[in-house]
């Protein structure tokens, strides 16, 4: 047993005071890369077309919904400029936004835009909402761009033709028809699992089917996939010139 010191405090058998435990060490914060991965994962799940750009409009990150406007995957938009993708109705509005950013103003800026998803596609119109994000003290903030397509004044789209399927969607369907898992499809096309599921869900809603088996079957009926190819592959542009119904 320990002895008592002259002031009554217990002393251990070694003659030294018992050490008292200090406060618990707080856990280390996660690395910055973890936050970026989480942000990208959230973008992949959002159905709204979104891009993060530099102040000059150069795309840093785009989600699958934004890339799908051009039948591309997100990585293919990286490095492109928003002004190469969208045409503002009032070009002077872009100059006014740039002046506001240089003066340190951090407001939300709506921009009416038009764009075409391909040379033979009809012109679309809508609104890009530009929102400066990041450090308020930064001279050149990053820009969060959200796209909202104006469909109120346009006629209802016709029954789904084969041409309405983007190259990325056709490649996803071909891999799915061959039995590839969602993870394998994503790895082959440079998409996340959420990105692949986004495209599959979008197709299922458009074609009014449920389940991957029905989705693949519909792709063959519509001529999206070549009926005489194995492993499954998208139909050639000149295959099945007809425009089948949904």
DSSP type of residue 156: P
Q: Assign residue 118 the CATH number of its domain.
A: 3.30.450.20
- Top pLDDT among 21 and 229 is at 229
Whether residue 74 is found in the same domain as residue 114: yes
Contact 88, 112 (CB under 8 A): yes
Structural domain contains residue 239: no
Rounded Cα distance, 106 and 168, in Å: 36
Structural domain contains residue 158: no
Q: Is the pLDDT of residue 246 over 50?
A: no
To the nearest 10°, report the CA torsion of 124, 130, 134, 140: 100
Whether residue 139 is found in the same domain as residue 174: no
Per the structure, the complete domain to which residue 209 belongs is given by 167-234
Q: Which of 149, 107, 142, 99 is nearest to 128 (CA)?
A: 149
Q: Assign residue 215 the CATH number of its domain.
A: 1.10.10.10
Q: Has this prediction a pTM greater than 0.75?
A: no
* Structural domain count, the chain: 2
Specify which residues 115 forms β-bridges with.
124
DSSP type of residue 71: T
Rounded Cα distance, 39 and 83, in Å: 24
Rounded Cα distance, 231 and 47, in Å: 31
Phi, psi dihedrals of residue 240, rounded to the nearest 5°: 55, 65
Q: What per-residue confidence (pLDDT) applies to 71? A: 75
Q: Is the pLDDT of residue 210 over 50?
A: yes
pLDDT band at 113 (very low <50, low <70, confident <90, very high): very high
Structural domain contains residue 214: yes
């Amino acid at each position: 047993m320990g002895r008592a010191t002259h002031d009554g405090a217990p002393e251990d058998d070694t003659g030294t005071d018992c050490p008292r435990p200090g406060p618990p060490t707080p856990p280390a914060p996660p690395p910055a890369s973890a936050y970026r991965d989480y942000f990208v994962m959230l973008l992949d799940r959002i159905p709204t077309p979104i891009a993060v750009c530099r102040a000059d409009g150069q795309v840093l990150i785009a989600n699958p919904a934004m890339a799908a406007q051009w039948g591309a995957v997100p990585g293919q938009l990286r490095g492109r400029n928003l002004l190469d993708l969208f045409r503002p109705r009032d070009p002077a509005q872009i100059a006014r936004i740039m002046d506001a950013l240089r003066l340190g103003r951090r407001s939300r800026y709506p921009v009416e835009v038009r764009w075409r998803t391909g040379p033979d596609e009809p012109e679309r119109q809508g609104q890009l909402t530009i929102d400066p994000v990041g450090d308020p003290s930064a001279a050149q903030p990053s820009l969060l761009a959200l796209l909202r397509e104006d469909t109120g004044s346009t006629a209802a789209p016709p029954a789904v033709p084969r041409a309405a399927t983007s190259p990325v969607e056709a490649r996803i369907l071909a891999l799915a028809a061959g039995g590839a898992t969602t993870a394998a499809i994503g790895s082959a096309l440079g998409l996340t699992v959420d990105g692949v599921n986004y495209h599959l869900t979008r197709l299922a809603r458009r074609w009014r089917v449920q389940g991957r088996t029905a989705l693949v079957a519909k792709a063959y009926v519509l001529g999206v996939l070549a009926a005489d190819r194995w492993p499954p592959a998208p139909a050639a542009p000149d295959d099945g010139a007809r425009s089948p119904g949904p």
